[in-house]
A and B are shown apart, each in its own frame.
Chain A
Amino acid sequence: MSVGTMVVNGAVALLLAPMFDGIARKIRAIIHSRKGPPITQPYIDILKLLGKEDLRCTASVVFRFAPTIALASFLVVALLTPMGASPSTGVPGDMVTWIYFLTLGASAIIILAAASGNPFAQSGAAREIMMLLSVEPIVVAALITAAVKSESMRLTDMMAWNLANGPSVSMVSAGIAFLLALQAAMGKLPFDIPEAESEIVDGPLVELSGPNLATVKLALLIRQLVYCFLLVQIFVPWPALSPWPLSVIAALVKVLILFGLAAVIEAVSPRLRIDQSMVYMSRVLFVALAALTFAVIGV
């Protein structure tokens, strides 16, 4: 039943997204030889922010509602993402819908930054779009590879095809391309260019405070989570365990491994400039297009 799936997905996204961040922070602290905050720290941060004063630098209606729209769009994306609890049909959307709701959330953050009228925020927003422009084509090419292989645009069909047919050259290379772009998609070092705390003081988020900041932070954590879920569920869907809670737990373990990997990379890398990142992404795009070519020739 799709409504049940969506409730599970929504709950996983809302309740577990901060936990993954907490674990990532812990791993980073261990690499830095620090004790680090407890794993629950992101929950505490968000709860604390929700009660803090809501400072508004503009009376714009857009500024008022954009944080909510961002969180709502990423939640919709979470509902559409196969997280292990999805049956083969019944999700009212496909890969195009998935990508566009993700873009809707990103646009809300960009518009929010522009509405704040702060030049730090606006240059962060421009960087956010440039990152989208270089990262999304890779994700799209990987998804189209899966669509060509499974002859369907539905994410659940792609997952089912991979489960049924086992790993293939094209799907594996598409997964590798996605993995290489994941760090940027999650907005982590060395690709946290839009936020760049030491340079443009958190970019689009600079004028946010209190509940608005909490909402946007939660939204961004959910975005990190859905990217990871998409990667593991479509390109590495194994093992498929029969009662759905086991399957969800298996997916969560895989996502946890990805978060750990991302945290290690984040702890040891310096930030790239946007032009350096574009060069890197163009190379990864080449890998993704190679995967697509493999898919077209049928391997």
Chain B
Amino acid sequence: MAYTNLELAFVLLLLGAVLSGPMRSWRSAGWTAAVFVGLSTVLAWSDGLKALLGRETVRAFIVPLPTFGSELAVSLDPLGGGFVMLITGVSLLATIYSIGYMGSYRHESPRRFYSLLQLFIAGMIGVVSVADWLFFIVFWELMTLASYFLVTFERGDPKAVRAGFKYFIMTHVATAGLLVTAVVLWRSTGSFAFEAHKSGLALMTVSFRSLLLALYLLAFATKAGIFPMGDWLPDAHPAAPSGVSAILSGVMIKLGAYGVLRVFWGMLPDIGTRGEVMTWGAVIVFLGTLSAFVGGLAAMKENDSKRLLAFSSISQTGYIFLALGIGIAFAKSDTLSSLALLGLLGAGFHILNDAIYKSLLFMNAGSILYSTGTRDLNKVGGLASVMPLVAAAGLVGVASLSGLPPTNGFASKWLIYQSSISGGLHFAPFVAVAVVAFFVSLSTLAYSLKYFDTAFLGKPAAETRRPVPVPGTMTLAQGVLALACIAIGLAPVWAVNVIASVFGALPAETFKVGRVGGLAAIPAGGAVPALWSPVTLFGAFLLCFFIAEMIRRCGRASVRTVPGWYGGEEHADDEVRFRAQGVYSPFNEAFAKVYPHVPIPRLPSLGKLKSVFNLDSWLYGPLLRGGGKMVDKVSRSHVGVPQLYMIWQVAGMIIVLALLFVLIR
């Protein structure tokens, strides 16, 4: 029996979890975890690349369970392969980052961190590498449980505990939906395999199928943090240690998009469902647009660095769902195949890019937290002078998040705009989506500049302790991600070609590879002509930069350093610091009620839940007390007077005789 590298990677992660568990020192536990995650990353990438580039499905049977119609088997198709590479890549960098970062948790035990982290990664790998709903749910739960314990890592912080509880409850309610669909389809097909469920869905009536699909969408949208369902996200992501936040926002919530792709792109019946697919696509587009809009505006108001990024995750996942929905809406159309591909490509590319820059930015916010001890953007400032490399990485991340050319964020947004405008030609409401997407992109610019400007630029803050430099491992992880942002941004066509192979279409159908690796849409199959040639335009930009610098320098002006000008008065740095809370206040007042925040349930409700399982309180306790009272009453008859006992005996005999008399007669 041949083993796949992926199985080996999974086993290595479990082994790493066991080995790093008993270690007492943060440093040795961290390096052990990094070594195991690193090894499994290499192994997982080898299989991922085989699936992705070879366009084949890597298969291996492990445990068949014929009685359940299920089997534990590796089944890594190109889509799964891409996700496995993304998960392990980001996780490896986050683990390396954590080695330095977790140094600020000296008082805690590493036992509760690295083992869970590796289980978490293993769970995510499991989710994307099976083709069986039973084990999908098993791994999904492993992922959720491990991440729950990581979110509540700071046990002493009641906010973190409550956030974790909210996360746990909300995702589990949604997972219950997944369980219901799996069991219903298992009853009708006798199998848990994806393929069987696809044919099972095809045989159902439209209304019943819609119900099941709604349950799927609920489960995956909740995990992805889509607006009404994803309310757990802005509480849970900031609460986790920053390395974990990077994985949560970078890859875990993308698995919601993975689920949607699996079901709505891969499992819908091929024939006779065009209108249905269109409707579901439109629903997903609507959810995505709403989420992008609301998340973007909520992030503009936020003054907590990690909460700001968490809202940004809601917004960016909205973008992903928006493009995904357009791809799904036209997926079954014969004439608009290129348009469908455009949407799916936009979604897939944005998943990749958001994973890169969002994990970069969470690590960046973590560096600020490590250095200054606060997440409050009002209390930090001028950090670029303390950690210039981290600031540079943050600038790349921020530029990428707001989609400024020539970063990777621009390339995927370009695809998303193009798909929504092209989609609008065939289904009018999608045009409005394009306008909203542009607006959200500007609000993205607004909040990401707010984050960067208040934290790294301006005057140093006096409210917090003196910033400490961050360890090299933290800077290294961010540097790698920042370079990836720029590299993918300059040569998007390679990434787009690889992602196109996930969706099983030849890239040449829609895209020609420009002379210098740019993207050009060919007006065929519903796509409209458009052109983004990063190298040409970046070359033009460099030329213009050169000209502009020549103009700037032509006067040979002398340079002199002077203090800032504050209307003629002298002020200490802290007095003239522009705090984060003041930025955009007129705009935020206009959109004050945009994110209706559901308060985190307080722990008493958890107490009620506990009391259901506390049999002492409602079963044994009352029984015992009732029994005791009865015994008390009986014991009162024992007063110690012989005459009274004899009367009882006589009375008893009379009753017995009477009974006998009645019975015998």
Q: Is the CB of B532 within 8 A of A278?
A: no
Q: Is A116 an interface residue (CB 8 A)?
A: yes
Q: Is the CB of A136 within 8 A of B442?
A: yes
Partner of B555 from A93, A137, A211, A219 at Cβ < 8 Å: A211
Partner of A289 from B414, B435, B555, B556 at Cβ < 8 Å: B435
In the complex, per-residue mask of B103-116: 1 if CB is within 8 Å of any chain A CB, else 0: 00000000000000
Minimum C-beta distance from B423 to chain A (A) = 11
Q: Is the CB of B565 within 8 A of A96?
A: no
> Which residues of A are found within 8 Å of B424, using beta-carbon distances?
144, 148, 296
Q: Is the CB of B405 within 8 A of A117?
A: no
Q: How many interface contacts (CB-CB < 8 Å) are there between A and B?
A: 256
> Which residues of A are found within 8 Å of B404, using beta-carbon distances?
100, 103-104, 107
In the complex, per-residue mask of B570-584: 1 if CB is within 8 Å of any chain A CB, else 0: 000100111000111
Cα of A107 to Cα of B532 in the assembled complex, Å = 20
Partner of B458 from A104, A115, A133, A153 at Cβ < 8 Å: A115
Given contacts A50-B552, A53-B558, A136-B438, contact A206 B565 (CB under 8 A): yes
B416: nearest chain-A partner, CB-CB: A96
Cα of A122 to Cα of B531 in the assembled complex, Å = 35
Query: Which of A49, A51, A55, A207 has most chain B Cβ within 10 Å?
Result: A55
Q: Is B547 an interface residue (CB 8 A)?
A: yes
Q: Is the CB of B584 within 8 A of A153?
A: no
Binds A, one of B210-218, B522-530, B640-648: B522-530
> Which residues of B are found within 8 Å of A99, using beta-carbon distances?
438
Q: Is the CB of A96 within 8 A of B528?
A: no
Q: Is the CB of A50 within 8 A of B557?
A: yes
Q: Is the CB of A218 within 8 A of B551?
A: yes
Cα of A58 to Cα of B561 in the assembled complex, Å = 7
Q: Is the CB of B552 within 8 A of A157?
A: no
Q: Is B453 an interface residue (CB 8 A)?
A: yes
Q: Is B633 an interface residue (CB 8 A)?
A: no
Minimum C-beta distance from B561 to chain A (A) = 5
In the complex, per-residue mask of A115-134: 1 if CB is within 8 Å of any chain B CB, else 0: 11111101101100110110
Cα of A178 to Cα of B384 in the assembled complex, Å = 39
Where chain B touches its partner, the secondary structure class is helix
Q: Is the CB of A152 within 8 A of B531?
A: no
Minimum C-beta distance from A173 to chain B (A) = 15
> Which residues of A are found within 8 Å of B618, using beta-carbon distances?
none
Q: Is the CB of A55 within 8 A of B562?
A: yes
> Which residues of A are found within 8 Å of B552, using beta-carbon distances?
50, 67-68, 71, 211-212, 214-215
Q: Is the CB of B449 within 8 A of A152?
A: no
Q: Is B68 an interface residue (CB 8 A)?
A: no
Q: Is A79 an interface residue (CB 8 A)?
A: yes
> Which residues of B are found within 8 Å of A164, using beta-carbon distances?
none
Chain A contributes a number of interface residues (CB within 8 A of B) equal to 85
Cα of A212 to Cα of B457 in the assembled complex, Å = 18
Q: Is A230 an interface residue (CB 8 A)?
A: no
Those of B400-436 within 8 Å (CB) of chain A: 402-405, 410, 413-414, 417-418, 421, 424-425, 428, 431-432, 434-435
B559: nearest chain-A partner, CB-CB: A54
Q: Is the CB of B518 within 8 A of A122?
A: no
Partner of A94 from B532, B555, B584, B586 at Cβ < 8 Å: B532
Q: Is the CB of B544 within 8 A of A76?
A: yes
> Which residues of B are found within 8 Å of A79, using beta-carbon distances?
540, 544
Q: Is the CB of A118 within 8 A of B564?
A: yes
Q: Is the CB of A118 within 8 A of B565?
A: yes
Partner of B431 from A50, A110, A148 at Cβ < 8 Å: A148
Minimum C-beta distance from A127 to chain B (A) = 9
Q: Is A72 an interface residue (CB 8 A)?
A: yes
Query: Which of A51, A94, A116, A207 has most chain B Cβ within 10 Å?
Result: A94
Q: Is the CB of A152 within 8 A of B530?
A: yes
Minimum C-beta distance from B535 to chain A (A) = 9
Q: Is B560 an interface residue (CB 8 A)?
A: yes
Q: Is A40 an interface residue (CB 8 A)?
A: no
Cα of A27 to Cα of B531 in the assembled complex, Å = 40
Q: Is the CB of B410 within 8 A of A100?
A: yes
Supply 10 further A-B pairs (C-beta < 8 A) apart from A103-B402, A110-B449, A130-B587: A76-B541, A96-B418, A115-B457, A117-B564, A118-B576, A119-B576, A122-B578, A136-B438, A137-B442, A154-B531
List 28 A–B pairs whose Cβ atoms lie within 8 Å, in order of A's numbering: A49-B555, A50-B557, A53-B557, A56-B559, A57-B562, A60-B384, A60-B385, A69-B548, A71-B552, A75-B544, A91-B531, A93-B533, A96-B532, A97-B414, A100-B404, A107-B404, A114-B453, A115-B453, A118-B564, A118-B565, A118-B566, A133-B439, A137-B442, A152-B523, A153-B528, A210-B555, A215-B551, A292-B431
A interface residues with partner B (beta carbon < 8 Å): 6, 10, 14, 47, 49-60, 62, 67-69, 71-73, 75-76, 79, 91-94, 96-97, 99-101, 103-104, 107, 110-111, 114-120, 122-123, 125-126, 129-130, 132-133, 136-137, 140-141, 144, 147-148, 151-154, 157, 201, 206-207, 210-212, 214-215, 218-219, 274-275, 278, 289, 292, 295-297
Closest 7 CB pairs of A and B: A50-B555, A114-B453, A51-B555, A122-B578, A71-B548, A153-B530, A72-B544
